[in-house]
Amino acid sequence: MKTILTAIFLLLIFLESGAQNPDTIVVSQIHIHHEDIRFGKHTYVIYTKQSPDSPIQNQTLVQINVHQQPYQGKQGIAISQIWHEKDTISHTAFSLLKGDDLSTLQHHFWWKRTAQKIALDYEHQALDIEGNATEIQRQKLQQDFGNTLQSGHFFNWHADLVLFPLFPLKENRVLKVKFHDPGLGIPTTELYKVIKSEPIEGIDCWVLEYTLPRNMGYQRFWIAKKAKEVLKEEDSFNGRFRYKFKMTVSE
């Protein structure tokens, strides 16, 4: 009898431990749900707030176009972005990903605030910089690019809104993702946790959370379970907030 009670006690401890400890997945190409990619045009509205109840500031409209693009006889995925602020374009980006593992083949971007246009070709190991970059900046970009080429597969952080719905999302699951925003440093492994399910306007969503370094804030993404798209993003940084909302129709 004592043996049976001990076995039951150990089983309860095991089940409780399993319920409390999230499962962790190192995301790779085998985990990607390629069939869920949403091709077409997508539009997001971005704005910031000093506090949740303060007026809206710094409105930005982001147009994203995702389409198939042949590359060297294989099918690639092209993602173009145009960021509008007031009456001007503030940022453009183009990413070409491999269709099978979503690795980055090419990434080009331009920011109005820096007046720099940078083109990175990972397939042919080529880097081109246009604009008023200093020699130190050029050397740093070249060094980071070389280190990135040696680091192996990474997911393009600049295309996170397109990629998140393709990941293996499940409540209480932690995703270890090797991300890189091309042209900014080198790839790093980041932790994202599916913290809960929550509806938005009756649409059931996964809520994916990322904690900023040194606990300076967080990012949360509401990802529609059926439609496989990011509907909302909420960022908190040093007490300030930034929001992204997906529009139901695009131009």
Evaluate whether residue 211 is within a structural domain. yes
CATH code of 204's domain: 2.50.20
Q: What pLDDT shows up at residue 213?
A: 85
For 26-41, what is the mean pLDDT?
A: 95
Q: What pLDDT shows up at residue 20?
A: 46
Among 95, 94, 96, residue whose Cα is nearest residue 72: 96
Evaluate whether residue 15 is within a structural domain. no
CA angle 191, 193, 199 (to 5 degrees): 145
Evaluate whether residue 12 is within a structural domain. no
pLDDT over 70 at 14, yes or no: no
Q: What is the pTM of this model?
A: 0.88
Whole-angstrom Cα distance, residue 105 to residue 99?
10
- Maximum CA extent, the chain: 80
pLDDT over 70 at 117, yes or no: yes
Q: What pLDDT shows up at residue 192?
A: 98
Residue 77, both tokens:
């995925």
Residue 249 — very low, low, confident or very high, per pLDDT cuts 50/70/90? confident
pLDDT digits (tens, 9 = 90+) for 216-231: 899 999 999 999 999 9
- Rounded to the nearest angstrom, the gap between the alpha carbon of residue 203 and the centroid of all alpha carbons in its chain is 21
SS3 128: strand
Evaluate whether residue 79 is within a structural domain. yes
Residue 18 — very low, low, confident or very high, per pLDDT cuts 50/70/90? very low
User: What number of other Cβ atoms are within 10 A of residue 185's Cβ?
Assistant: 12
Specify the number of domains making up the chain: 1
Q: What pLDDT shows up at residue 171?
A: 93
Evaluate whether residue 31 is within a structural domain. yes
Q: What pLDDT shows up at residue 8?
A: 44
Whole-angstrom Cα distance, residue 192 to residue 194?
7
Residue 185 — very low, low, confident or very high, per pLDDT cuts 50/70/90? very high
pLDDT digits (tens, 9 = 90+) for 126-168: 999 999 889 999 999 999 999 999 999 999 999 999 999 999 9
Residue 215 — very low, low, confident or very high, per pLDDT cuts 50/70/90? confident
For 75-86, what is the mean pLDDT?
A: 96
Evaluate whether residue 169 is within a structural domain. yes
Evaluate whether residue 8 is within a structural domain. no
- Mean pLDDT, the chain, rounded, equals 91
Among 185, 188, 169, residue whose Cα is nearest residue 177: 188
Query: What is the span of the domain harbouring residue 57?
Result: 23-246
Evaluate whether residue 18 is within a structural domain. no
Q: What pLDDT shows up at residue 250?
A: 84
